Amino acid sequence: MLLLFMFLLFVTNTSFAAENKSIIPGRSIGNIPLTIQPDEIVTQLGHPDSVESSGDLLTVGFKQSGLMFVYTKPANLLFIITFNPAYKDFFNLGVDSSTKAVLERYGKEYKLIEQGQLVTFLYLEKGIGFTFDKGKVLSVWVFPGKEKTIDT
Q: How far apart are CA 65 and CA 45, in angstroms?
A: 8
Domain segments of the chain: what residues? 26-142
| % of the chain beyond a pLDDT of 70 | 84
- Residue 135 and residue 17 in contact, taking contact as beta carbons nearer than 8 Å: no
**Per-residue pLDDT tens digits for 37-94:** 888 988 999 999 999 989 999 899 999 999 999 998 777 899 999 999 999 999 999 9
CB atoms within 10 A of CB 92: 9
Cα–Cα distance measured from residue 49 to residue 115, given in angstroms and rounded to the nearest whole number: 25
Tell me the per-residue pLDDT of 90-133, one tens digit each, with 9 for 90 and over.
999 999 999 999 999 999 999 999 999 999 999 999 999 999 99
pTM for the full predicted model = 0.82
Decide if pLDDT at 11 tops 70.
no
Pick the CATH number of 26-142 from 3.40.190.10, 1.20.1740.10, 3.50.50.60, 3.40.33.10: 3.40.33.10
**Is residue 148's pLDDT more than 90?**
no
